[in-house]
């Protein structure tokens, strides 16, 4: 509102329709005012010179040519005091009433322009209709150079209202709370900010129009503040996630994981190998983990969608996507860390001892499979939901996040492949190999974009190849382990050698991964991996006796046969450490039987080695049995023959007969004493041995005793030379191979 120069000018502006009088010359204004006050009838349009002369008569000191001199004004005012005092009291009161009225109008105007904070929603809807009409009209104006529509006053009022509402929420101590509650005002604020975005974009079309500059600056500043506010809220909402169950991973056979968690291959503990190879529980298994994907409630998701849409449409796409990427990647890595997978450098992995590293591999396998099966799909769905109006953005966000997580997995696998290679690590290496294979298989459905797919598949294939090559080296190194076992101390009692247990348990566990090892050896075995693998066509044909029905041998099956042949050679050498030839055959039978039983219990090994190999080993086992019986019991049976006992016609050579009984008794005592301490742990083999021995010895002894006992004098002579009857001999045989010290045989 303009400031009034004097009361006269105020009163002269009596009505809007009256023509405003011309302004007097500045140099004569003081004198003119004085004369106007002295004479109310004087024409205000009188000549300026006449006014000057009148003033000269009133005050001799006044200068006719004075312009705006302060002293002249003061003198004129002093001379005009009498006339000024003549101003009516009514005029003063009228002036005061008018001023009061104008102040009241101004106050009412301010109150009208200021939005009511307590009723933000109604104010928004009141302004929104008018702004929508303005936006619609502005959009119809296709030529930005033409006269745009007039900006309504509601635009400024609306901007101030939104700014005040943002200030109210922004002053809150807890970001994100307003959007969690999603009360009427918070929902309206989101709608209002969205309206600011549209309004700013429309105003920017007429940026060249000076009448729009003030509103453009105001709404642009408001938009920037609103976007900063939304960015903070967006990030706070993303960080305040809710654990969402995505199920447990059933893609890896839990039974196999339990079997091979940490098999023991201690050559000095023959029975521990079997026991430790099959632990009952695997705390690192995948059956009972609590899978919580960092997701959000439906209310939060709705708010995230609105905020993302508003920021992108306002041109703040990069800020929105940056916040989303940082928070989601941090949450993903935090989830992996809580589940036991820490981010480690390659150097850290290679310096780790095997026990903690094995635990990390278990966690790595579990979490990588969980990501493949559930987390990646859930994250992709999350991106598509929040950025549903922008498929390219959602794809880019998911691709970037998943690629970062996958690279973390691949770096760990590459580091493990470079660690020390030893037999017990094979199974965890194969777990990694299978996981990487499954990861590659899932990429086509997860990712879009040929270049990204090519990059991820190439990196994954490289890591898988390194793990595969390491697995081949570890398994092939089993040959060296067998060759290096050249101890010169025989196993007591001819029992199963620890090396046999070690190799067969190792192979049984390894063949749980039969298909994987077939693939590993097919793809990653070097041609010169082992000289022992190479064999001529004649050797292969001899091995299978020209059986054309045998299926082609895979590289892994061939490697397995090499291992078994090396084991046979090693056991044959160890059998020669026994001074008793019979015991050496018991040793070979024990180990051969253990091998056959292990193969029967593993369909995978049986399938790899084939029926021809199994038949050959069964033949070898029967031959060991025959050799034992011949070496041990042929001499006993020789005592029960007729040769050398008959002289002439039916005459018995008693000294020879007595010597025969003495020899038989001595042999039975020796066999019982020694061979009852020998070990045949396989019950089937033990029973077969006893039955086969009894079937030969007992009938022969019963027949010999029945024919020649009568030629000994009853009494002392009989007791002296016939210590055992058939029943006692049978009982003695039943005590053989128990692995316990012998007791004295009972006499008849």
**SS3 annotation, 273-341:** HHHHHCCCCCCCCCCCCCCEEEECCHHHHHHHHHHHHHHHHCCCHHHHHHHHHHHHHHHHHHHHHHCCC
- Model pLDDT, residue 22: 41
Q: Is the pLDDT of residue 118 over 70?
A: no
Is 558:529 a contact under the CB 8 Å cutoff? Answer: no
Mean pLDDT to the nearest integer, 223-234? 92
Query: Which of 118-122, 399-403, 489-493, 532-536 is least confident?
Result: 532-536
Has residue 81 been placed in a domain?
A: no
- Model pLDDT, residue 182: 59
φ and ψ at 419, to 5 degrees?
-80, 175
Tell me how far apart the alpha carbons of residues 480 and 424 are, in angstroms, rounded to a whole number: 14
Has residue 82 been placed in a domain?
A: no
Has residue 408 been placed in a domain?
A: yes
Q: Is the pLDDT of residue 515 over 50?
A: yes
* Residue the block writes with tokens 């005029």: 91
Q: Please classify residue 228 by burial: count the beta carbons closer than 10 Å to its beta carbon, then call 0-12 exposed, 13-18 middle and 19+ buried.
A: middle
- Model pLDDT, residue 337: 87
- Model pLDDT, residue 736: 94
Has residue 747 been placed in a domain?
A: no
Has residue 472 been placed in a domain?
A: no
Distances (CA, A) of 213 to 143, 146, 208, 384: 18, 16, 8, 38
The larger pLDDT score, comparing residue 447 to residue 34, is at 447
- Model pLDDT, residue 80: 41
- 413 shares its domain with 495: no
Q: How confident is the model at residue 198 (pLDDT cuts 50, 70, 90)?
A: confident
- The SS3 assignment for 647 reads strand
What digits encode the pLDDT tens for the residues 689-704? 999 999 999 999 999 9
Is 168:189 a contact under the CB 8 Å cutoff? Answer: no
Structural domain count, the chain: 4
Distances (CA, A) of 402 to 328, 333, 396, 398: 10, 11, 10, 6
- 573 shares its domain with 492: yes
- Rounded to the nearest 5 percent, the helix, strand and coil shares of the chain are 70, 0, 30
Query: Which of 97-106, 206-215, 526-535 is least confident?
Result: 526-535
- Model pLDDT, residue 175: 53
- Model pLDDT, residue 111: 46
What digits encode the pLDDT tens for the residues 692-735? 999 999 999 999 999 988 888 777 777 888 989 999 999 999 99
Q: Is the pLDDT of residue 121 over 50?
A: yes
User: What value does the CA radius of gyration of the chain take, rounded to a whole number of Å?
Assistant: 54
**Gap between the terminal Cα atoms of the chain:** 142
Tally of helices (H runs) and strands (E runs) in the chain: 32, 4
- 663 shares its domain with 716: yes
- 410 shares its domain with 505: no
Q: Looking at 427, 459, 491, which one is the last position of a domain?
A: 459
Query: Which of 55-69, 146-160, 352-366 is least confident?
Result: 55-69
- Model pLDDT, residue 578: 97
What digits encode the pLDDT tens for the residues 608-663? 999 999 999 999 999 999 999 999 999 999 999 988 888 767 788 888 999 999 99
- 276 shares its domain with 310: no
What digits encode the pLDDT tens for the residues 410-422? 999 999 999 999 9
- 311 shares its domain with 191: yes
Closest CA to 640 of 657, 617, 619: 657
Tell me how far apart the alpha carbons of residues 505 and 111 are, in angstroms, rounded to a whole number: 90
Is 366:249 a contact under the CB 8 Å cutoff? Answer: yes
Q: How confident is the model at residue 269 (pLDDT cuts 50, 70, 90)?
A: very low
- 429 shares its domain with 398: yes
- The SS3 assignment for 363 reads helix
Assigned token pair, 225: 């503040």
Q: How confident is the model at residue 678 (pLDDT cuts 50, 70, 90)?
A: very high
Query: Which of 17-21, 165-169, 660-664, 667-671 is least confident?
Result: 17-21
The larger pLDDT score, comparing residue 196 to residue 459, is at 459
Compute CA 647 distance to the chain's CA centroid, rounded to the nearest angstrom: 93
Q: Please classify residue 626 by burial: count the beta carbons closer than 10 Å to its beta carbon, then call 0-12 exposed, 13-18 middle and 19+ buried.
A: exposed
Q: What does the DSSP assignment read for 511-541?
A: GGGHHHHHHHHHHH--TTS-GGG---HHHHH
Has residue 427 been placed in a domain?
A: yes
Q: Is the pLDDT of residue 536 over 60?
A: no
**Residue 273 CB contacts under 8 Å (≥ 6 apart), including other chains:** 263, 264, 265, 266, 498, 501, 502, 505
Sign of CA dihedral 597, 602, 603, 604: negative
Query: Which of 235-244, 367-376, 712-721 is least confident?
Result: 712-721
* Residue the block writes with tokens 């691709």: 399
Residue 79's CB is within 10 A of a number of other CB atoms, namely: 17
The larger pLDDT score, comparing residue 98 to residue 298, is at 298
Compute CA 327 distance to the chain's CA centroid, rounded to the nearest angstrom: 16
Q: Is the pLDDT of residue 465 over 70?
A: yes
What digits encode the pLDDT tens for the residues 199-214? 888 888 888 888 888 8
Tell me how far apart the alpha carbons of residues 513 and 139 are, in angstroms, rounded to a whole number: 68
β-partners of residue 293 are: 244
Q: Is the pLDDT of residue 176 over 60?
A: no
Has residue 129 been placed in a domain?
A: no
Is 745:724 a contact under the CB 8 Å cutoff? Answer: yes
Secondary structure letter of residue 173 according to DSSP: S
CA atoms within 13 A on the CB side of 164: 17
- 263 shares its domain with 348: yes
- 406 shares its domain with 275: yes
- The SS3 assignment for 242 reads strand
Q: Is the pLDDT of residue 504 over 90?
A: yes
Is 404:329 a contact under the CB 8 Å cutoff? Answer: yes
Mean pLDDT to the nearest integer, 353-360? 93
- Model pLDDT, residue 202: 86
Query: Which of 177-181, 285-289, 388-392, 514-518 is least confident?
Result: 285-289
Assigned token pair, 346: 């390659």
Total residue length of the chain: 748
- Model pLDDT, residue 425: 94
**Residue 554 CB contacts under 8 Å (≥ 6 apart), including other chains:** 518, 521, 522, 608
- 394 shares its domain with 279: yes
Would strands 646-647 and 292-295 be described as parallel, antiparallel, or unpaired? unpaired
- 227 shares its domain with 254: no
- Model pLDDT, residue 323: 96
Average pLDDT, the chain: 78
Closest CA to 271 of 739, 677, 741: 739
What digits encode the pLDDT tens for the residues 17-71? 443 434 444 334 434 343 333 343 334 333 434 343 434 333 433 333 433 343 4
Has residue 207 been placed in a domain?
A: yes
Tell me how far apart the alpha carbons of residues 342 and 330 are, in angstroms, rounded to a whole number: 13
Share above pLDDT 90 across residues of the chain, in percent, rounded to a whole number: 47
Q: CATH number, domain at 702?
A: 1.20.1280.170
- 310 shares its domain with 274: no
Mean pLDDT to the nearest integer, 455-466? 95
Is 21:44 a contact under the CB 8 Å cutoff? Answer: yes
pTM over 0.75: no
Tell me how far apart the alpha carbons of residues 735 and 745 are, in angstroms, rounded to a whole number: 10
E strand or H helix that includes residue 439: helix 426-446
Domain encompassing residue 644: 639-734
């Amino acid at each position: 509102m303009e400031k009034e120069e004097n009361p006269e000018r105020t009163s002269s502006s009596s009505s809007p329709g009256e023509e405003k009088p011309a302004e007097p010359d500045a140099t004569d204004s003081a004198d003119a005012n004085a004369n106007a006050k002295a004479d109310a009838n004087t024409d205000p349009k009188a000549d300026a010179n006449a006014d000057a002369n009148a003033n000269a008569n009133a005050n001799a000191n006044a200068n006719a040519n004075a312009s705006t001199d302060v002293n002249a004004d003061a003198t004129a005012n002093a001379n005009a005091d009498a006339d000024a005092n003549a101003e009516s009291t009514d005029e003063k009161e009228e002036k005061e009433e008018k001023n009061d009225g104008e102040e009241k109008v101004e106050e009412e105007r301010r109150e009208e322009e200021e939005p009511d904070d307590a009723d933000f929603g109604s104010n928004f809807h009141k302004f929104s209709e008018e702004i929508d009409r303005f936006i619609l009209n502005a959009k119809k104006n296709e030529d930005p150079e033409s006269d745009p529509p007039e900006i309504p006053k509601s635009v400024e009022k609306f901007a101030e209202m939104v700014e005040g509402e943002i200030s109210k929420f922004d002053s809150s101590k807890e970001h994100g709370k307003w959007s969690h509650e999603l009360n009427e005002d918070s929902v309206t604020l989101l709608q209002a900010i969205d309206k600011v975005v549209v309004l700013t974009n429309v105003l920017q079309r007429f940026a060249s129009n000076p009448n729009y500059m003030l509103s453009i600056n105001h709404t642009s500043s408001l938009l920037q503040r609103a976007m900063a506010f939304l960015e903070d809220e967006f990030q706070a909402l993303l960080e305040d996630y809710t654990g969402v169950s995505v199920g447990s991973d059933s893609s890896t056979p839990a039974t196999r994981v339990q079997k091979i968690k940490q098999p023991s291959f201690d050559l000095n503990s023959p029975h521990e190998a079997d026991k430790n190879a099959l632990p009952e529980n695997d705390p690192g298994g995948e059956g009972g983990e609590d899978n919580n994907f960092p997701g959000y409630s439906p209310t939060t998701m709705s708010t995230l969608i609105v905020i993302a849409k508003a920021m992108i449409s306002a041109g703040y796409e990069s800020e929105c996507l940056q916040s989303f990427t940082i928070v989601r990647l941090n949450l993903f890595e935090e989830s992996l860390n809580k589940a036991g997978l820490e981010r480690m450098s390659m150097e850290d992995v290679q310096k780790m001892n095997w026990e903690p590293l094995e635990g990390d591999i278990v966690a790595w396998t579990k979490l990588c499979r969980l990501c493949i099966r559930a987390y990646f799909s859930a994250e992709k769905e999350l991106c598509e939901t929040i950025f549903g109006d922008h498929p390219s953005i959602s794809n880019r966000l998911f691709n970037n996040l998943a690629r970062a997580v996958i690279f973390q997995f691949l770096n760990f696998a590459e580091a493990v492949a470079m660690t020390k290679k030893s037999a017990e690590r094979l199974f965890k290496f194969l777990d990694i190999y299978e996981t990487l294979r499954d990861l590659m298989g899932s990429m086509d459905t997860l990712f879009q974009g040929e270049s990204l797919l090519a990059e991820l598949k190439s990196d994954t294939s490289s890591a898988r190849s390194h793990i595969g090559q390491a697995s081949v080296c570890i398994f092939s190194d089993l040959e060296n382990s067998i060759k290096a076992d050249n101890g010169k101390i025989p196993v007591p009692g001819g029992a199963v050698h620890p090396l046999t247990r070690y190799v067969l348990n190792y192979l049984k566990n390894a063949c749980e991964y039969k298909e994987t090892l077939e693939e590993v050896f097919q793809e990653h075995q070097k041609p010169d991996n082992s000289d022992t693998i190479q064999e001529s066509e004649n050797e292969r044909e001899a091995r299978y006796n020209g059986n054309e029905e045998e299926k082609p041998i895979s590289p892994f099956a061939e490697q397995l046969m090499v291992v078994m042949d090396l084991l046979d050679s090693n056991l044959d050498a160890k059998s020669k450490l026994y001074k008793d030839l019979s015991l050496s055959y018991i040793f070979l039978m024990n180990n051969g039987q253990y091998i056959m039983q292990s193969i029967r219990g593993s369909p995978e090994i049986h399938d790899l080695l084939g029926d021809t190999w199994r038949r050959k080993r069964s033949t070898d086992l029967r031959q060991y049995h025959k050799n034992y019986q011949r070496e041990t019991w042929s001499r006993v049976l020789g005592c029960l023959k007729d040769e050398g006992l008959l002289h002439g016609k039916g005459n018995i050579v008693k000294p020879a007969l007595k010597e025969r009984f003495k020899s038989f008794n001595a042999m039975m005592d020796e066999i019982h004493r020694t061979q009852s301490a020998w070990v045949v742990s396989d019950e089937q083999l033990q029973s077969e041995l006893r039955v086969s021995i009894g079937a030969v010895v007992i009938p022969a002894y019963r027949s010999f005793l029945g024919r020649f006992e009568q030629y000994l004098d009853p009494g002392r002579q009989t007791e002296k030379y016939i210590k055992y009857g058939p029943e006692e001999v049978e009982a003695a045989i039943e005590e053989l191979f128990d692995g316990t010290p012998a007791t004295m045989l009972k006499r008849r």
